[in-house]
A and B are shown apart, each in its own frame.
Chain A
């Protein structure tokens, strides 16, 4: 069946252009792009005034399955992705058991077969994510991982990480680093600064992240490995990555919407939904992250979607787990805070959330052009509505953005030519 998107604005990162055109989808691919298309037997979806972007990829999320299905499953997590405007997700491997074996990767892929959006698994760097011995990386590659990471934990031993980088380079595999010196961050629950002093909460200094960013860049330079720095939170990290890129080190980086939209002042409510690792930092860090996003130091916006149950979060601040449920707020947050304010253009947003993640992960090109697979994210820039966690498809309702009135929401998600979300609702065939 054909699908005709009528009256949209086609975002083309290659030509850095936006043009008004209708888009015809046929057999899962883009068949035509031009104004005034008339296809009598096509099902038409009016998208007047909406931006038609290449399908967004969330290259950092936690789907929790296997092992912590009370927080999220691959089914609920991918439904959340579809609602959030994502056409693919990269699932981190800190599950229970961790994704350090072919068996777990195959399980994840099997669970994802019926999912509304494809899931690309990340394999663990070390056995049981302990940071001590290399996982069977060759086996993981054969099972179909797209990257390596012990995310959630750093690899504290520099010798182990060196060998990981050397070994993974024979597969051309990306190593994603969770940068945190756990001796410096031990016991910390928020950014170390005036607000932590005021609240009497144990702080996590920027140095805990920056020392590992510097170390991992040095090791990537030494080994020639491809390094991707996850969830950059501090101005110093941006500076280190910028300098490394100028020297030609093969390093890329991502930032989360929450690190771009919130500061440590949000913790003053003691709302545990603001507890996240790395922690929310200061306005100066937010400015540096924005600048890094604009000058290309930071390549990707990724959610670090970390769902938790209500019971786990409804406790004393010190005892709550780290993490924010981010899949269903990322696009409207970035539109409202960056695009609508003129900081980022729609084309740049599409690069940070579609084109660059695909390039970094080695996935097929993301573009709205004739012949490519029809993975599309359609955003209504006029739609203004509040975030309502109770409407999340994710099991994780742990969002500090609940109630925020945001402008610019994904209204249509198409995966391989199939509508998986329309106007915030998952299409019927995907419900179960």
Chain B
């Protein structure tokens, strides 16, 4: 099939076929990553900029390396604060970047909807690298790629997303993507970290791990933002860890061959115990590698096709 999108703003509006194509395309990309000489010329002459309004190391580096391995030129702009505080509007920043001849803008922002706003301002392609608690499509794609690689399929799997669902863009993109691919998605966390009506997105809601993690094939553990405790959303880190931290006892509730994912960075010993994080079920490091492959696939599908075949390069 053809991939005819200008932007990747979220998984809500991608079809199952499009997701499948992205995941299929990521496989040969991963093969390139394993080569001694990783550079292919597919995107030579194209330019990619990462525009990050939130601190990030892994996602930004992952996108930059993905672009570089495909031969594109990259630049990165880290904006510490919001446009309001900085004094330059998003529109003006966007226009300035576009005038420098950028083909793709990869944006991360603390406010939901910013990539959508940006895509209306510029002709360049826009990839959402995380907008507020809205979507983080490339994270969900790399999660799905990792699951599919290990389990051989997505359809029919039981996937639990554990933790702070309310504030998580990773959870939302995973729910859209996984349900489209035929998986059963469960969200597990305390009611104070569960957004209203989330079941309408197609996920089953569980408050107790004993129910939510039962017989699942995959557990995706979310990072807990420690400042949520100060806002009164749970009593203490200690109690959160006791009730929702993934340890070996809770893991036994799942299927014996359960996969454990985490989008990183990990609060070691809080949302996941060191034994589980470093244990045989965890694929957290593999996710990082797959992230580069999936992002290469996206850049290739958006920009590179029809010029030179990456698979024979």
Contacts and interface: CB of A to CB of B under 8 A. Distances in A.
Contacts of A390: none
A45 interface: no
A200 B196 CA distance: 11
B113 A199 contact: yes
A270 B10 CA distance: 14
A270 B196 contact: no
B226 interface: no
A197 B82 contact: no
Given A193-B197, A197-B197, A198-B201, A316 B134 contact: no
Interface string B155-187: 000000000000001001000000000000000
Contacts of A318: 110-112, 132
Contacts of A197: 195-198, 200-201
Interface in A175-231: 192-194, 196-201, 203
B193 interface: no
A194 B197 contact: yes
Given A316-B109, A316-B117, A199 B195 contact: no
A197 B12 CA distance: 13
B192 interface: no
A417 B215 CA distance: 79
A261 interface: no
B84 A200 contact: no
B113 A270 contact: yes
Contacts of A41: none
B112 A315 contact: no
A317 B120 CA distance: 14
Contact of A196 (B90, B109, B117, B196): B196
A311 interface: yes
A70 to B, nearest CB: 16
A98 to B, nearest CB: 23
B133 interface: yes
A316 B82 contact: yes
A107 interface: no
A318 B85 CA distance: 13
B225 interface: no
Interface in B1-28: 12
Interface residues of B, number: 28
A311 B111 CA distance: 17
Contacts of A193: 196-197
A284 interface: no
B46 interface: no
A404 interface: no
Contact of A311 (B89, B114, B133, B172): B89
A203 B172 contact: no
A291 B74 CA distance: 58
Contact of B82 (A199, A203, A311, A319): A319
Nearest to A311: B89
A133 interface: no
Interface in B116-135: 116-117, 131-135
Nearest to B166: A197
By CB atoms of chain A within 10 A, which of B112, B132, B133, B197 has the most?
Answer: B112
B267 interface: no
B236 interface: no
B96 interface: no
A200 B90 contact: no
The winner among A192, A316, A319 for most chain B CB atoms within 10 A is A316
B173 to A, nearest CB: 10
B229 interface: no
Closest 7 pairs between A and B when the two form their complex, measured CB to CB: A200-B133, A270-B113, A200-B134, A194-B197, A316-B111, A197-B195, A318-B111
